[in-house]
Structures are given as structure tokens and as C-alpha cells.
Structure 1
Amino acid sequence: MNINLSSNIPKKYREQLYSVGAYAKKLGLSAWVAGGAVRDFYLKRPTLDIDLTFSGNQESVAGFCVKQWGGGKRKFSQFGTFRVNMADGLKFDMVRMRKEKYPYPGALPEVEFSPKVKDDLFRRDFTVNAWCFSILPDTFGQTYDAFGSQKDIDNGIIRILHDKSFLDDPTRMLRAARFAGRFGWKLAPKTERLLREAVKGEYLLLLTRERFSREFLKVLKEEKIKNIFLLMEKYDMLKFAWPGLQWHDALLRTQDVQERMGILVCTLGASGEDFLRSLHLPKEFSQEILGAWKVTREKMSPLGSLSPLQKEILNAVLPGLPPMALEPCFVRGRELKDLGLAGRRISGALDRVRQAQWAGEVKTREEAQAFLKAH
């Protein structure tokens, strides 16, 4: 069933989208909002990411948006996509209507432009994301629902569009759990069966670790993260992130992705560092997490100051630490030299003080000095 969604679109977005559609009409293009934004507008959920698809070259439309509302644009030449990040925080991903084919399982798709918006919708992951509405002035807000998207949204059903969907793009396995967990929806019976077959066939191992990592970080951004993890456990998908990875209630303390990653790394114990390095994340993202992980392994107060993020991670995974446990060691190697210690005796004495401070046995610099004299 096709309906009109114009009244569901917030006024600010409606005005911007109408302007984009009017400009596209001047160029002789058809123009649609497609994908997850349509779902979110229908559900009256907030969104800042909007996919737009056009019947022809969209580059001048991207330039129009930047000129009208500020910000910048970026081209992804591999897929002919323009991303416009506007000054007000709204993001448009603009593509030319296309169809895709996958040269082999898990590969990035090969793109072929198509005059049919139905082809563009068919390349989506699930029916709930395969819906669109026109932004041309004469038909603004009018939906085109070729795959029963509205019905599946109303019924809370996650359904793939064709039987080879998970094989073509195994990231859809993670997205199935992510959307089901986010909205409290269920997988259609056939989709669930195909997902279990995909897990058994280890389709997620067809992905590069970088692609897996990008999709896993999206899981860590989700508000309903526990629901998603429990679904990933149910379908035995967490093992593809790392053997032994499991849900930890400390993840509910924060919605910060870096902190959540740090919690997972630290709760993995000895293999936490290997897990983090396997994800090929930026160095600046990983280094603080590794610093916190090292403290969990040593179980001693640090020699230097910890960052606020590191303290948050450690307090999350090690609740009940004494107040001074995460503060820098009360004494320094230089002081131990002044006491006549040298070599390994210095490091041994430092470790004893750090362990005592970690355990709350020494709470001040003076107590640390007295501890040294007694031990």
C-alpha cells in the first residue's frame, strides 16, 4: 500500500527535502528518500542520516545543498555516492538509482545504474529498509512500497529480500540482530532459518576484518545494546567477533563506543589485547583502551596518571576498587634510590607499594613510605 508521509516529516527536514526535490525537478530528475530514514519517519523516530536516490547524476544536487545550508560534500568514487554533511548536523547520502551484483560471496558490490527505483530498493538489506517516498514538489511524501515494507514494519518483522542476501553481504547477519534488538522486532521464520544456515556456514568469515569491525562498532553505538548482544548470543554470532566474547552488564553504564569497547577488551582477560588489535581500529582509539587493559592485568596502581576514560572503564569492570587504587603510585623510583635501593630491588619495592595501594592498604604518601620501611 502506498501512503503519503509528508505529515510525518519534521518541518525543518520537510522544507529542506522539498527544496532538494524542487531543484532536482529543474534538472529533470526523479528524487526519492529511501532506506532507513523512511522507516524512521513512518515510526516518528528522530534521524539525522537520510539516503537520497536520483534518476541521474546527483553531483549538482549535492553542491546545491552545501550552497543552501553550509557544510561540505565528499565523493565515494567506488559507488558514485556523494555524502553531504550540512552545518546543522543533517547528513545526506546521495546516490544515482542503481542495481548491484556481488562478484563473489562477501565481496563489495559491483554497481550498474538503473532507471527503476524498484531496482534501487531491491539492493537493500531488509524489507523494512526497502521503502521510499518522492521529494518532487508534485508528489512530495508519496511512498512507493514494492516489497511490503509498511506491513513488515507494522508487524515488527525483519525479512531479507532474497535467499542469497546473507551470502552476498554477511554484514546483514549483524544488522539483522541490530535492527531486531533496536526495535524489539522478530526475524521472519525463513529469514531466521537462513541466518542460522549462514552462521553454520561461517559467512561472517568471508568479510575482511575491517568490514566486520565497522559493523561491530555500530552495535556498540546502540541504545538497546543488551537486546542485540542477547540475539547475537542466541544465533551464536559473538564468536565471530572473538572467542569467549559475551555480554557484560557494565556495558549498560555508558553509551560511549570507546568506553564500551574498553569494557569488552578488559573483560576478555589475557586475550583482550589480541581482540582489540584484530579490529584494526585507529591508534588513537585503541591506545587508551590498552592502557586500561594493562592495569586490569597487573592489578596494581598505575605508575602514571590515568585518563578519565581509562578510569571509567576500570571502575566499570572492577567495581568496588578502593578510592586510591587508580591514582598514580604514591612513591617514585627516585625516592627508592635515596633509600639505598638499586636495580631489581627498586622495581620489586615499587610493585609491592602499587599492590598495597591497589588493595587499599595504603591511602596516602606517608602510609606508602611507612609501608616501604616495614617491608
Structure 2
Amino acid sequence: MGQTALNPHQTISGTDNPPPAAQIHRLLRQHWGEARLQRLHDIGRTAAKLGTPAYLVGGCVRDLLQNHPAPDTDLAIEGDVRAVAEACTAQLSGMQCTYHPQFGTAILEYPDGFRLDLARCRVEHYPAPAALPEVRPGDIVADLARRDFTINAMAISLDPGSFGDFLDPHGGRMDLQHGLLRVLHPLSFVDDPTRILRGLRFAVRFHLRLEPGTHVLLKTALARDIFARLSGARLWRELKYVLELDDLAGVFEKLDAWQLWPLLRPVPPKSETLLSSMQRGQQEIAWFHRHCPGEKLFDTAVLLTLIWRHIPWAEAEKRLHCWPVTDGHHILRDLQFLSEVSEALAKATRPSAAAQLWASLSLPGILALLAEHPESDAVAESGRHYLLKQRGLKSPLSGRDLQAMGLAPGPQLGKVLRRLYEAHLDGEIEDKETARQWLIRQGILPSIQP
């Protein structure tokens, strides 16, 4: 009897038995479309001809089962990745192939931009806790066994004779259905502590909870201070991914429950204030990108500034000394002056005075300060006015213009230019003529000018 067609808005549910290949095939067609499905058939046939079975693996399989978008399509190859990639490239005009021999990986990009990431099935051995793994070729069973969590250790065969066969040796589908995050072996977090932070991201994105035994393994790894063995670059890369999640409330909940706050600050926040300010920070970042499209902003620096706003400065400095954070020195400088700038802004009576205060901060520092004030607050209005109007203003007259009017070069010329700029900020001048009249009124120029 034929299988009942799946509703494209449903996931595979159910039992401990793997879903039939026909059901997986229909799911691929419904969620990914006929064109993408055909490409999988093509690469499966190409790999089979070369004697190197190919499989869909990892996150794209997980996301398929949940009806989530799968922007990355990862394939595991039980053999020569380069041979498969080059054979596929030869069959389609316009396809681009990038091969990385040091990693045994390849990227296939189709003319319409669709991309496939190919990697050699492999076995990993960790020579020491938190060390980078030693790698050797393996089969699909070994490749799935080396992965971080059961929900990422599933595969779908692309071989013509078994297309759609579902490989789930570690029970990832049932863990996904039960909302569990489970590691594959007892030393998983010790071997690679970054799995803890990757797990946090998965837990937040997919609303998962740690399987009890995995929670015990997490506590054991933290008791061994396992993150101290990790390089600053690897730790920061994973923390940055965590801070880029949209659901900051979920991030805060997991940082609390998993006792991971010490990675970011010495003590957890004692109230909802930090969460509220960081959520406002996300809003300010989005506002900036809407109103200043194309301008560069290191978004995460805004959130780091807020996280470290009310802790000892040395705690932030200690972390930035180890982490390769973009513009970290600007973050440290902002942290030193944010309170002072905030107090001075409340007392600033002229637009030029407020502009000078805002200009003393980096762009992330400005947005962090805005995040600490309601949108209708005078400080927030002043900051947005600075970003949209004042920041791009220049004096209508240049130093060359002033010299042409008879002013001598030197320090006094610089002071005049500064005063002109401030007058422009305060709305006292608008163009070269009103600037010239202002100079006359100030007694800087004689009243008769050619």
C-alpha cells in the first residue's frame, strides 16, 4: 500500500522506526522543491559511479525534519571528494568548484547561486582535552559518531539504489521530537568545549533542554574548568555566535541554567535590567542599519559594551586581552567614558556641546548608550539627531577659504574652523554666505569683504 503524502507544514512524527525512503523523498520534494531534489539525485548518481557513496548530513537533515529553512546543504562523501566535485562540475556548464585539499572539502556553486558543501567522511581523535582533533578518513557510520549531538548525527542516502534511506544510529530524530539535546559520548564536552556553546545555540533556536545525562556531563566539564584549555580565538568565535542570536531572553535563560555567565562576566546579572538594555540594543542596531544602510557596524560590540557596562573595567580588559574582538580597544575606551558622557549630555544646553560628547564615543558605544534610554528620552533623541544630522555636518568654509579671506595659517585658524563648525551645529549658519556674515559679527573678519 502506498504511503500517505505528507503535509508540507508538518514534520515526520512518530516512532523509533526510521521513516521510509519514499516518505523522505516526498519530504525533500515538498520542502526543497523539484529542482533541488533533482540536483541531489544527480550528485548521488555521480558519486555512485565513482564508488564513493554520498549522503546529506548534519544540520540540513535536522532542519528538514522540523520544516525549517536549510540555507546550508552539507554532503558527506565516503571517498574522493575532489573526484566527485570535478565530475559534477564537468557535467554542468557554469558550475564553480572550490577544492580545499588541506581539509578534504569542496564547494560546488551552481549558476543560480545554490551551493553544496562536500566533505570527506572522517574519524576524529582528540589527543588532549580541548585540543584540535587528529583526522583520518572513515565511513558514514564513523562520521556520524564523531558529531556533537544526536540531532546533528543523522544522514540521508543519495545513492541511486537507496536514495532517501534514513540513517539515525544515535536516535537523533526521537531526541528532536522529545526536545532533548544529547551528546554522543561521555567525553564530548571535554574533547571539544566549544560543543557546550554550540549546544546552547541549538537549545535556544530549537527550544531544547539538556538530556539529564548530558547535563551531568556539562557540570563535570565545567568543574574541570575546561574552557581554560581553549584558545581565546575559538572561545570568542562561539561566544560571538551566541550573542548574534535573536532570542536574548532564551540566551539569558540558558546562560543561567548552564552556569556559563563567567565566560562573559564575573557574576550573572542580578535583575532584568541587563536583558532589557540588550534587547533595546538589538533595536538600536536594527534602527541604525535601516537608517544608515551600507555603513559598517560591528553589531556585537554594542552588546558586549552593555554586558560589561557595570562590571569592573579590568574584567572586560582581561577578556579582550585574550579574545580577538574587532575594535576591542574602542570598547574599553567607551566603558571608561560612558557614565561621564551620559551625565554631561543631561546638562548640555547647546546642540554643539551634545555633538562633541557623542563624538567622543565609538559608533557601538553611541548605540549602547541609546539602549539605556527610552526612545522618547531626551538623551535618546539627542543621540539619534547626532547620528542622522550632526555626524555628517562639516563647516561651510574650509581652511583654504579662510586664508583666501585673509586669515593667516596657524593655530588661530584651527580655532576659527572649530567655532564655525560649532555654529553650524547650533544652526547659526547654513552656507558660505551666512558663515561669512557670522565671521563679521564675531569680529573675525572686517565688515567690508570683496
TM-score band by shorter chain is 0.7 to 0.9
Aligned to 2:304: 264
AA partner of residue 249 (structure 1): Q
Distance of aligned partners of 1:25 and 1:127 in 2 relative to their CA distance in 1, 3 Å threshold: same
- The within-5 A match list for 1:194-209 is 194-209=217-232
CA contact (8 A) 2:154 2:167 kept: yes
For the 8 Å contact 1:251–1:260, the answer to whether it is kept is: no
| 2:152 alignment partner in structure 1 | 129
Scaled by the length of structure 2, the TM-score of the pair is 0.66
Shift in CA distance, 61/308, structure 1 to aligned 2, threshold 3 Å: farther
CA contact (8 A) 1:331 1:365 kept: no
Which residue, out of 366, 382, 401, partners 1:324?
382
Deviation string 1:299-355 (CA, Å, 9 cap, x unpaired) is 1645459887665444224443253344459999x99xx9xxx99xx9xxx9xxx9x
How far is 1:50 from its partner?
A: 2.2
Matches within 5 A, 1:156-167: 156-167=179-190
1:81 aligns with 2:105: yes
Partners of 1:2 and 1:191 in 2: CA distance: 24
Partner of 1:183: 206
Task: Tell me the C-alpha RMSD between the 2 structures.
Answer: 3.8
Question: 2:129 maps to what in 1?
Answer: 105
Question: Does the 8 A contact of 2:130 with 2:190 survive in 1?
Answer: yes
Unaligned runs of 5+ residues in structure 2 are 1-16, 270-274, 290-296, 346-353, 430-437, 443-450
Q: Which residue of 2 aligns with 1:233?
A: 256
Aligned residues of 2:370 and 2:380 also touching (Cα < 8 A): no
Counterparts of 2:99 and 2:244, CA distance in 1? 24
List per-residue Cα deviations over 1:346-370 (Å, max 9, x = no partner).
9xxx9xxx9xxxxxxxx83559x9x
- Quick one: distance in 2 between partners of 1:214 and 1:50? 22
Q: 2:263 & 2:247 partners in 1: Cα distance?
A: 20
CA contact (8 A) 1:97 1:120 kept: yes
Taking the aligned partners of 1:322 and 1:281, their CA distance within structure 2 comes to 27
1:276 deviation in Å? Answer: 4.5
Q: 1:28 and 1:45 mapped to 2: Cα distance?
A: 32
Alignment size in residue pairs: 346
- Give the Cα separation in 1 of the matches to 2:49 and 2:394: 73
Secondary structure of the structure 2 residue equivalent to 1:49: coil
Counterpart position of 1:279? 323
The one-letter code of the counterpart of 1:280 is P
Secondary structure of 2:100's aligned partner? strand
Distance in 1 of aligned mates of 2:224 and 2:65: 36
Which residue type is aligned with residue 136 of structure 2?
E
Between structure 1 and structure 2, the one with the greater Rg is 2
User: In the TM superposition, what whole-angstrom CA distance separates every residue of 1:196-231 from its partner, at most 9, and x where no partner exists?
Assistant: 121222112211111111111221332334312320
Structure 1 unpaired stretches of 5+: 355-362
Corresponding residue of 2:433: none
Query: What TM-score do you get using the length of structure 1 for normalisation?
Result: 0.78
Paired residue secondary structure (1:32): strand
Instruction: Name the % identity.
Output: 29
With over 3 angstroms needed to count, the CA separation of the structure-2 counterparts of 1:295 and 1:26, relative to structure 1, is farther
Give the letter for the 1:324 counterpart.
Answer: S
